[in-house]
Amino acid sequence: MPLLTWAAISIGVVTGVMLSWFGYQSGLFNGSATTGWPKRGLVIFVTHPETVVNIQERTGKNFTVGRTSKNGSLSIPDLPAGLYRLTLSAPGRIPVVKDVELDPEQAVVLGFPQRINLPAEY
């Protein structure tokens, strides 16, 4: 092959690697994993399966939303925008409390790509 062809191939490979690296670092590739997420509400990812999710509204009213699935995820698409305090708990684990403000225009995702860890009790 002529030298010009090898140079063009090399430039294409280097450019592709650089674009892939920048896309990964900026989070562009996370979009493929988020296509199943709701347009609004709350999505939670935790390390411990079947974690109990309790939500406290700004008014102080508490209610248990449910449990995460066996893979540690929970989607609550119909949760209205506002301020909430979440308590995530599981047997043998220290509860984790998170304050979150839900946006009326887009889903809020907690624990992605790094899942929320519930530390083991001692």
- Show me where the domains of the chain are located: 1-33, 38-122
Site of tokens 């998170």: 98
Domain topology for 38-122: Immunoglobulin-like (2.60.40)
**How confident is the model at residue 110, as a pLDDT?**
94
What's phi and psi for 100, nearest 5 deg? -140, 145
Per-residue model confidence (pLDDT) at position 108:
93
Q: With a cut of 60, say whether residue 5 has pLDDT above it.
A: yes
Residue 110 tokens, joined = 């907690």
The Cα-based distances of 117 to 8, 37, 69 in angstroms read 47, 21, 15
Contact of 65 with 54, CB cutoff 8 Å: yes
* C-beta separation of 53 from 74 below 8 A: yes
Each residue of 16-70: pLDDT tens digit?
555 554 444 444 444 444 557 788 889 999 999 999 999 998 777 777 778 999 9
